[in-house]
Amino acid sequence: MDSTKRVYLFTEDAEPIAAAVEAGGKELKDLLGGKGSNLMLMTNAGIPVPSGFTITTNTCIDFLDNDAQMPAGLDTEVAAAVAALEAQTDKKFGDVDNPLLLSVRSGAKFSMPGMMDTVLNLGLNDEVVVGLAKLANDERFAYDAYRRFIMMFGDVVKGAERELFEECFAEVKEEEGVSEDTEVSAEGLKKVVELEKKVYQDAVGEPFPTEPYEQLMQSIDAVFSSWGNDRAIAYRTINRIDHDLGTAVNVQTMVFGNLGDDSGTGVAFTRDPATGAKELYGEFLFNAQGEDVVAGTRTPLPISDLYESMPEVYDQFVAICDKLEAFYRNMEDVEFTIEQGKLWMLQTRDGKRTAQAAITIACALVDEGLRTEEEAVMLVEPDQLDQLLHAQFDAAAKPEAVANGVDASPGAASGKVVFSSAHAVEAAEAGEKVLLVRHETSPEDIRGMAAAQGILTSTGGKTSHAAVVGRQMGKPCVVGCGDVSIDYAGSKCSIGDLDICEGDWVSIDGSTGEVMLGEVETAPSDIIQVLTGDKAPEDAPLYGLFAKLMGWADDVRALGVLTNADTPEDAQMAVKLGAKGIGLTRTEHMFFGEDRLLNFQKMIVAEDEEQRQVAADALLPYQREDFYGILKAMDGFPVIIRLLDPPLHEFLPKDEAGQQQIADETGRTLEDIQEMVVRLHELNPMLGHRGCRLGITWPLVPAMQARAIFEAACALKKEGLNPIPEVMIPLVGTKGETSILTKIILDQAEAVMAEQGVEVEFKVGTMIEVPRAALVADQIAEFAQFFSFGTNDLTQMGFGFSRDDAEGKFIPAYIEQRVFEANPFQVLDEEGMGQLVAMACEKGRAARPDIELGICGEHGGDPTSVDFCHRVGLDYVSCSPLRVPIARLAAAQAQVKTPR
């Protein structure tokens, strides 16, 4: 491509830029920006696009490098391009009799907020508007175009306040005693123009420019300058977009859909964006502008109606849509205008679509030979798959929400309200559907949460206990719903004036955060019903497409996908959804069963080591049973089991009654128990005596857990199965902790295997979640056979804020003020935490080349974070069962983007 050429025409007559098009538009986009290259490509494909030209991004850079002076010769090139447009359209820029009007738009390589927007109807002035009125035979139309132009030019090009111009219009409307814009007379519009010109003079300090070339060059100047404004710079810095790219300027001839009944405008999708069906889907209005379609004041007609009025135009439009699909190899979202019987395409872009449509279209494009399987994998947003897996309400049956909280765990749930986990369990055992409503949940609520259809909390954010466990369990969950005021003592809650008593039906939509009164019917999604055997695959056509796409993803991806699961049931569902093992089994929930909790409490409050060991021994059979179940369910797959993580005080009741009960059951005094509660109290539990720190001071706990794991594994081995336990030490920060805990585990492994007389394949490794662990990962890898990044805690400690405290209190402000582009608990902070992950990978592999590296934080199910995990070289990601397909697809896309 000619590197000194600054202006590129796109007109039917212009020579096609064949080389650039052949090069796949890559170089073109750098030079002409996204919009410019698209207009160029459509024009070259023979699609009718209003003629125009693009000024290159290089010109913008030259402009900015040269103290905002237009590069020498640019004016000549622009003039020549305008002349070419004049010749091609048979109109003349600034001509009174047959005026050429232009639009000016910015167009960088990447779409970017902060850049100058659109100026339409450029070329109008007091004389030209008269000619336009004559030409269109419509004075109202011409002056309406003119007053819009002055406003856009003043606002967009000169930075005058848009409101000032709108007030002119309002003033005239009041004068004429009308309420609708369309009711203002032509005379009124002329008056608006005069008022606007005054406003312009006052705000800008100079008269409105009447010379069309001056209007054009000032607009070009404004586009170039907007590349260097603060907001644009900040956006690029945050998004790491090169400041030297520059923006292109697109100048295009105006076409009008409001020039009579043979004119019109509309939008369409080339396929159904809801279902993906291969049928044109769109709507249009006769004698209207784009704004009218958007404003919704008139009801648009279905696109098929166009066939009846203008069959040739319709056929041409269908042909163009087919051409666009063939060219972009995708479902397109197009805008078009018909000006006095002539069809113009104004824009095309890949169309947004539902998950169902995305999968249907991706598979169809492969069948149609337009896309390879690898390309098809790129056409579905991984996060969208969520829609296909969670139970949902029937939209038609859904009542209005009475309150809104945070959409923490997707899906729909209805149930009778209960305010305690105990009641949830009781009612569920009695066959009731219940919805658990709490201020917040804690590990003590696990059984209640499991028993409930869904969880609603009045506090907490997307990573609160309720949210995390809700997603983990696949339970719909709405959190932080501050409108819900709970009165535990009265067994009721209120939302505003509305009282809700225990037993009343309430529904929540975890995909939207809505809280509704009454029962709303829900059903598992088709795909889940097929997986659970409740529906035949042939009755769920989407299942087949889903399975096909996931198969392609699996063929492509380099990253393994495991699941986080604490029960055999979760694990089995995850396997059906494609997980190849368990990346995180948490063991703390296992201690909350009735007998277990008491024994655990006995262990905590024991008077001496002997009593303590007795209590620990009593827990052994329960733990063995837990591990037996989960290892059996995951036969042949690795199961990473994390040793006890939370601090001990979570296992003791805070209330005196509960403490008295333990005292009674352990034969100790209430004072003893209370003293223990005080001793275990922590000012900052997140930073407390937990994880491997417990293992150092209470070695009998990890010893008991390790013994249970290996006894379970040996038993399975004897039954001919192939258990693969991997024991994971939590919260490691030092080599010393790793070596001490590893020894405890290895001693048990050796002892149990000797007792049982069988050998079991196993590994011992660590979480990497404490920042220091990443810094000394080489030392830790001397003992650890695998690392699993616990990016939830890593983020908390690395940023120095607790998610429960931060999400409610300041993360929203941080996002609003653009300190964060995304919540770092949802999308892994690659810039900061990513450095620690990369460092730990490098040091870990240096010390132990075959070390297994994975992630088990919630980021393992976030597509952006999965992409990072792929690039940083992890072996796998692990996520909650329902996010397994998302991770599989995201992993495939990561491999396509960055092959490894």
Q: Which residues bind its own copies (CB under 8 A)?
A: 238, 682-689, 693, 696-697, 731, 733-734, 736-737, 740, 769-772, 775-776, 793, 796-802, 804-806, 809-810, 813-814, 817-820, 829, 831-833, 835-836
The pair of three-digit structure tokens given for residue 713, joined into one six-digit string: 């594994």
Quote helix, strand, coil % in the chain, to nearest 5. 50, 15, 35
Closest listed residue to residue 773, CA positions, set 726, 839, 850, 854: 839
Give the nearest distance from C-beta 668 to its own copies in angstroms: 19
Alpha carbon distance 834, 814 (integer Å): 20
Q: Give the C-alpha distances (Å, rounded to integers) separating 150 from 108, 146, 147, 375, 655.
A: 25, 6, 5, 46, 71
Give the nearest distance from C-beta 808 to its own copies in angstroms: 9
Nearer to its own copies, 182 or 684 (CB): 684
Nearer to its own copies, 350 or 747 (CB): 747
In 3-state terms, what secondary structure has residue 75?
helix
Alpha carbon distance 881, 385 (integer Å): 13
Nearer to its own copies, 110 or 814 (CB): 814
Give the nearest distance from C-beta 236 to its own copies in angstroms: 14
Nearer to its own copies, 718 or 818 (CB): 818
Alpha carbon distance 36, 31 (integer Å): 9
Question: Could you give the angle at the alpha carbon of 27 between the alpha carbons of 36 and 42, nearest 5°?
Answer: 40
Nearer to its own copies, 679 or 900 (CB): 679
Give the nearest distance from C-beta 812 to its own copies in angstroms: 9
Alpha carbon distance 852, 844 (integer Å): 9
Give the nearest distance from C-beta 737 to its own copies in angstroms: 6
Nearer to its own copies, 117 or 810 (CB): 810
In 3-state terms, what secondary structure has residue 736?
helix
Those residues whose C-beta lies under 8 Å from the C-beta of residue 510, and which sit 6 or more positions away, are: 390, 407, 408, 409, 410, 411, 412, 413, 454, 470, 475, 476, 477, 478
DSSP 8-state assignment for residue 431: T
Nearer to its own copies, 121 or 796 (CB): 796
The pair of three-digit structure tokens given for residue 79, joined into one six-digit string: 């003039």
Residue 542 CB coordination number (10 Å): 18
Alpha carbon distance 709, 686 (integer Å): 27
Closest listed residue to residue 712, CA positions, set 796, 626, 837, 823: 626
Question: Could you give the angle at the alpha carbon of 864 between the alpha carbons of 861 and 866, nearest 5°?
Answer: 50
Nearer to its own copies, 188 or 480 (CB): 480
Give the nearest distance from C-beta 401 to its own copies in angstroms: 24
Q: Let me know: does 738 contact 643? Beta carbons within 8 Å.
A: no
Nearer to its own copies, 29 or 859 (CB): 859
Q: How many residues are recorded in the chain?
A: 900
Concatenated DSSP letters of 241-281: --TTS-EEEEEEE---S-SSTT-EEEEEESS-TTT--SS-E
Give the nearest distance from C-beta 820 to its own copies in angstroms: 7
Q: Dmax over Cα atoms in the chain, in whole Å?
A: 105
**Could you list the active site residues?**
465, 856
Alpha carbon distance 514, 408 (integer Å): 11
- φ/ψ (deg, to 5) at 188: -60, -45
Give the nearest distance from C-beta 557 to its own copies in angstroms: 29
Give the nearest distance from C-beta 798 to its own copies in angstroms: 5
Report the sign of the C-alpha dihedral through residues 247, 253, 257, 258, in that order: positive
Closest listed residue to residue 842, CA positions, set 896, 893, 781, 754: 781
- φ/ψ (deg, to 5) at 348: -140, 140
Give the nearest distance from C-beta 767 to its own copies in angstroms: 11
Residue 311 CB coordination number (10 Å): 10
Nearer to its own copies, 513 or 695 (CB): 695
Give the nearest distance from C-beta 727 to its own copies in angstroms: 19
Q: Let me know: does 616 contact 600? Beta carbons within 8 Å.
A: no
Concatenated DSSP letters of 288-350: --HHHHHHTSSPPEETTHHHHH-HHHHHHHHHHHHHHHHHHTS-EEEEEEEETTEEEEEEEEE
Q: Let me know: does 843 contact 781? Beta carbons within 8 Å.
A: yes
Give the nearest distance from C-beta 764 to its own copies in angstroms: 17
Nearer to its own copies, 50 or 733 (CB): 733
- Burial bucket for residue 237 (CB in 10 Å: 0-12, 13-18, 19+): exposed
Q: Where are the alpha helices (DSSP H) in 634-719?
A: 656-666, 670-680, 692-697, 700-718
Nearer to its own copies, 14 or 775 (CB): 775
Alpha carbon distance 216, 157 (integer Å): 10
DSSP 8-state assignment for residue 398: P
In 3-state terms, what secondary structure has residue 104?
strand
Give the nearest distance from C-beta 803 to its own copies in angstroms: 9
Nearer to its own copies, 318 or 696 (CB): 696
